[in-house]
Amino acid sequence: MTSNLNLHQSTKIARVLVANRGEIAVRVIRTLKKLGIESVLAVSTADKNSMGAKLADRVVCIGPARASDSYLRIGTLIEAARGTGAQAIHPGYGFLSERSEFARACEENGLIFIGPTSEQIERVGNKLEARRIAEEAQVPIVPGGPVETLEAALQMAEKIGYPVLIKAVGGGGGRGLKRANSSSEVTALFDLASSEALAAFGDGRVYVECFVTQGRHIEVQVLGDGEDVIHLGDRDCSVQRRYQKVIEEAPAPHLPDSMRRDLHEAAIRFSKHIGYRSLGTIEFLVDVQRQSFYFLEMNARIQVEHPVTEMITGLDLVAQQIAIANGNKLSMKQSEVKLHGHSIECRLNAEDTENDFSPSPGRITRAHFPAWAGLRIDTHIETGALIPPYYDSMIGKLIATANTREEARAMLESALSEIQLDGIKTNITLHREILATAEFTHGGVDTGFLGRYLVDRATARASK
């Protein structure tokens, strides 16, 4: 994986505060080391002995274990950056990475936010504004629109047809998201969706849109410098449980060439329309039955699944982020982006898949990952590491890359059988089961695939 940076000798960024934890903190620190940039890791008391803390050039404690008292405190992070002499902050993903207030605080305090501008984050973070941008850029959107009352929601649902989704304007990750199959379900779920949205995002507004019965979640990675934009290929993220991604791959299998080209062009049109600067992802819903696609949202940050794009492009996407934040123009043209092979990623979670996927914190008594050509592990876990109960359950990502999709799938399946993560429960067995199914082996599953599989598995076990 190359960086393709061409950083100027008079670089502005010499020290970066990494405002995150876990595997993404480790991932960012390693690229900073490669670039000769000093890293300062902001840690909570729960992460003082983490792998990231061991790798960083300097560590600064920003508060107690709970994220609300540490990783989500904008003022504390700004002071940590200024106090340690950092010129820039890398937010990773999650936490404050898509909070326009954080980017704005960096801008107002003379710090470089390694990401898009605060205005861009604000615009694409508002689902209704993002839909409006997509319309202006002539990017297809799912039929629907904003609703302020239950009566308006019922009218919209009647207009576009059932089933529908009631979605939070200001967020994602499945929170404030409800499916309604009838007017009675809209009536029952409208207030619940709004209250969940208010609690999770501080914004109770919702909108109603058409639910695609059989859809695939396809996204396009883009990189912009504020003037030019290129795409770095597409990814399929359709293996999901309750709107949370589980397995991702690049490129998306079994997409018609014409649709793939149209998806890439639509992603670039959207990004150029707002003069996007930094790394970003345009997410689309592909309607399998109609063979059409719709804009879903833009994620204005690095994605969890970025490694599969790195592996088929040979690019270091964190390095690309830093280069753009440093004021550089794109280091390549679209024609210079070359895609090679196929890459599949499994998210490794500390969770009990037999107990409603409940988190499984604890100490890792043994951690072993195979070291094979074509196999990559992004993790902050090692033998003796403590998995605290305060954060997301993801503890790593296993990525297999080969010339063909089947070779990558088979490698991943074999690697999962050799991993040892003792002391906690994980979803490794479930990943092996998914990879072995005929549907996944063929490729191109829809977003309902994993839900159906889990129901069938539970039914089969109950009948024994």
Active site residues: 301
d(CA 15, CA 27): 16
- Phi and psi at residue 113, in whole multiples of 5°? -90, 120
For 438, the token pair is 């005929």
Cα separation, 317 vs 451, in Å, equals 32
Dig out the tokens for 304 from the structure: 């969890």
Q: Are 39 and 16 in contact (CB under 8 A)?
A: yes
- What are the structure tokens assigned to 252, written together? 């998306």
Strands (E) in 148-253, as ranges, are 164-168, 178-180, 206-210, 215-225, 229-241, 244-250
Nearest CA among 26, 246, 232, 266 for reference residue 140: 266
Per-residue tokens: 314: 């040979």
Tokens of 430: 């479930």
In sequence order, the 6+-apart residues with CB closer than 8 A to the CB of 369 are: 377, 379, 398, 415, 419
One-letter amino acid at 128 equals L
Residue by residue, DSSP assigns 225-266 as ESS-EEEEEEEEEEEEETTEEEEEEESPTT--HHHHHHHHHH
Quickly count: other Cβ atoms within 10 Å of residue 181's Cβ: 12
**330 vs 326: CA distance, rounded Å:** 11
Cα–Cα distance, 91 to 24 (Å, whole number): 9
Assess whether the previous peptide bond of 163 is cis (omega < 30° from 0): yes
Distance CA 70, CA 35 (A): 28
**Quick check: 233 and 313 in contact, CB under 8 A?**
yes
Give the containing element (helix H, strand E) for 197: helix 183-201
Q: In the structure, how many helices (H) and strands (E) does the chain have?
A: 15, 23
